[in-house]
Amino acid sequence: MDREATKARIDALIEPFNKKGIAIDDSTRFTDDLEFDSLTVMDFVAAIEDEFDIIISMNQQAEIENYCQLVDAVVKLKG
């Protein structure tokens, strides 16, 4: 799946979770920069899973720290 198109869809999905309106780039970290707590992570992951009809297991989430890694993971899972 096209990385740019995937990124555009994730850009739209993250907006309601980015409560402080922080400018997001590839290196933005979910916990440290966006201050996601575990409940926000669950809701955000569920939104992405539903959008792309994929599973991002907790094991895979542990490897995803920043925005770039998330987009890469979704592209890979979508195949």
The CB-of-23 to another protein minimum distance in angstroms stands at 26
Among 49, 51, 64, 72, binds another protein (CB under 8 A): 49
Q: Is 39 in the site for another protein (CB under 8 A)?
A: yes
* Distance, CA of 3 to CA of 7 (rounded, Å): 6
By CB neighbour count within 10 A (0-12 exposed, 13-18 middle, 19+ buried), where does 77 fall? middle
Residue 11 interacting with another protein (CB under 8 A): no
Residues 13 and 47 sit within 8 Å (Cβ to Cβ): yes
- Which positions lie near another protein, rule CB under 8 A? 37-39, 42-43, 46, 49-50, 53-55, 57-60, 62
